[in-house]
Amino acid sequence: MTEPSKVERRSRRGGGRDARRTARASGNQGPAAPFITRQIAPVDILNDEACEIIENNAETILEEIGIDFRDDPEALVILREVGCDVQGERVHFPRGLARKLCSTAPSGYTQHARNPERSVDIGGMNTVFAPVYGPPFVRDLNDERRYATMEDFRNLIKLTYLHPGLHHSGGTICEPVDLPVTKRHLEMIYAHQRLSDKPYMGSVTAPSRAQDTVELSKILFGTEFVANNTVVTSLINANSPMTWDDTMLGALKVYARNNQAVIISPFILAGAMSPVSVAGTLAQTLAEALSGIAFTQAVNPGAPVIFGSFASSMSMQTGAPTFGTPEPAKVLYGCAKLARRLGVPFRSGGSLTGSKTADAQAAYESTHTILPTVMGGTNFVLHSAGWMEGGLVADYAKLLLDADQLTMMPKLVNGIDLSENGQALDALRETGPGQHFLGSSHTQANFEDAFWRSQMADNTTFEQWSSEGAVDSIVRARQQAVEMLAAYEAPAMDPAIEEALRAYIDKRTEELPDTDY
């Protein structure tokens, strides 16, 4: 991986902050690992007895209350065939059936990237970071908040590609509203494929768009490779409470039948879309996830699938979603444990905030989400950088601020080195009371990568910081984004593949109507 040094090499102004930033960047980063593997156990706040209560309640929901599968007669047929009690569109799962169906889901899978060094292993002790997903707006490099365009989409993919903190290119990093709804998915998928070599997500806004994603992936990876490997992971949100709609079910079926992965995600604003309690939200989330995962396995046993959970609290006074609060952190810790007990990978969390600007509120709330995400053992993290305003906005500056924080996570979860070198008894003997360790041979041998270093933080003195313009972190991040985008170079691609991708897109663009749905 050569991007970060490429980016830094471009920094041509001499002295001051730029020189320091270059010095820092040439330091301990090294080639970034394609994902994180933890050495410490996930934080666990729900014991086995508590899990059994929640699991029992989820079974009660599935059996007694049931789950709606709407406007998709085929789904109802499939579910009836595997033993569900289907009444109208309401599907009741006899106690234990959903969990039994889930048992064919793999405990983890590899999502291949076109650059094999960037393929990610999703599940187990691993964590994969993907950027923000879904915002119709951006806050751009001029600090302007406006509707997102395809150019923003490409820029944010480029920044994600260049950043060592992000392992995955994500999906709808913003919604390019300047292209017709019917066609934009083609340019979005192509941008991921062409501008990055990290793994990516597929379209879910219509079954035909999911199919386009699969076809474009076949062109990029080869038809046989896609038949035998997972190259796309896509987001299937529940219409909580306890409802799946035909759009999501249709996309799910396309991906599952093609052995491509889906994230089955109850999407819950607790208090509105679930009970106003953590244990109630956990039971409902588990019931919805079980129903969706069971459905994928009914469609295609063994298809890769992730147990997802998006949970936010809401202000019970104004109805506004709130982030960085303790209740969603508890839902996350609990769901992560429930997913481990179910034996499937888990997705949740991110760097979430309701703030309108990348101020202290944004960073407090984001950190109060991403730390539980990582410490709780989440395997796939959407929204891990760039999310703003409750998901309405993708913020260029915050993408880099958050991603910088993500680069510390490998060191946070790798445990404590108890090797002889880690214990450093000789350094203690060599130095002794009242002396300093700066010149000790142990320090000299270890200082390069002893401590994680932020590439965005300013740790100079007040005097130096002031003399350089008293620039705060938002402004530093925007400066870095400008430099990175100017230095960006697309990863190489076989011209024949590039041509074939464009030909497919041009053909489909011709075929499809110009409508807004």
> DSSP alpha helices (H): ranges in 413-494?
420-423, 425-431, 441-450, 462-467, 473-487
The answer to whether 385 contacts a copy of itself (rule: CB under 8 A) is no
Exactly one of 19, 435, 503, 507 binds a copy of itself (CB under 8 A); that residue is 435
The answer to whether 469 contacts a copy of itself (rule: CB under 8 A) is no
Exactly one of 103, 277, 302, 482 binds a copy of itself (CB under 8 A); that residue is 277
Structure tokens at 243: 């409802």
Stretch in the footprint of a copy of itself (CB under 8 A) among 170-178, 189-197, 235-243, 478-486: 235-243
Exactly one of 225, 326, 482, 503 binds a copy of itself (CB under 8 A); that residue is 326
Exactly one of 14, 15, 116, 433 binds a copy of itself (CB under 8 A); that residue is 433
Exactly one of 46, 120, 204, 484 binds a copy of itself (CB under 8 A); that residue is 46
**Across the strands, what pairs with 85?**
92
Stretch in the footprint of a copy of itself (CB under 8 A) among 100-108, 178-186, 212-220, 366-374: 366-374
Q: How far is the CB of 300 from a copy of itself (least distance, A)?
A: 25
The answer to whether 16 contacts a copy of itself (rule: CB under 8 A) is no
Touching a copy of itself, residues 77-106 (CB under 8 A): 90
Stretch in the footprint of a copy of itself (CB under 8 A) among 44-52, 92-100, 118-126, 502-510: 44-52
The answer to whether 243 contacts a copy of itself (rule: CB under 8 A) is yes
Q: Is the backbone peptide bond immediately before 176 cis, with ω within 30 degrees of 0?
A: no
* Strand-strand pairing, 85-87 and 90-92: antiparallel
* Strand-strand pairing, 380-381 and 126-129: parallel
CA 30 vs CA 5, 175, 365, 448, 487: distances in Å: 9, 33, 30, 11, 19
* Strand-strand pairing, 36-37 and 126-129: antiparallel
The answer to whether 11 contacts a copy of itself (rule: CB under 8 A) is no
Touching a copy of itself, residues 388-417 (CB under 8 A): 389-390, 392-393, 398, 401, 405, 408-409, 411-412, 415-417
Stretch in the footprint of a copy of itself (CB under 8 A) among 66-74, 154-162, 300-308, 492-500: 66-74
Stretch in the footprint of a copy of itself (CB under 8 A) among 191-199, 204-212, 216-224, 436-444: 436-444
Residues near 431 by Cβ (< 8 Å), separated by ≥ 6?
437, 440
The answer to whether 19 contacts a copy of itself (rule: CB under 8 A) is no
- Residue 231's nearest CA partner among 193, 194, 267, 273 is 193
**Across the strands, what pairs with 310?**
267
CA distance 371 to 46: 17
Q: How far is the CB of 495 from a copy of itself (least distance, A)?
A: 42
Question: Is residue 109 classed exposed, middle or buried when 0-12, 13-18 and 19+ CB atoms within 10 A define those classes?
Answer: buried
Exactly one of 115, 149, 208, 454 binds a copy of itself (CB under 8 A); that residue is 454
Coil, helix or strand for 124? coil
The answer to whether 501 contacts a copy of itself (rule: CB under 8 A) is no
Decide whether 297 or 373 has the Cβ nearer to a copy of itself: 373
Angle formed at CA 351 by CA 347 and CA 355, multiple of 5 degrees:
135
CA distance 517 to 515: 6
**How many chain residues touch a copy of itself (CB under 8 A)?**
127
The answer to whether 142 contacts a copy of itself (rule: CB under 8 A) is no
Coil, helix or strand for 225? helix
Is residue 320 within 8 A of residue 269, CB to CB? The reply is no
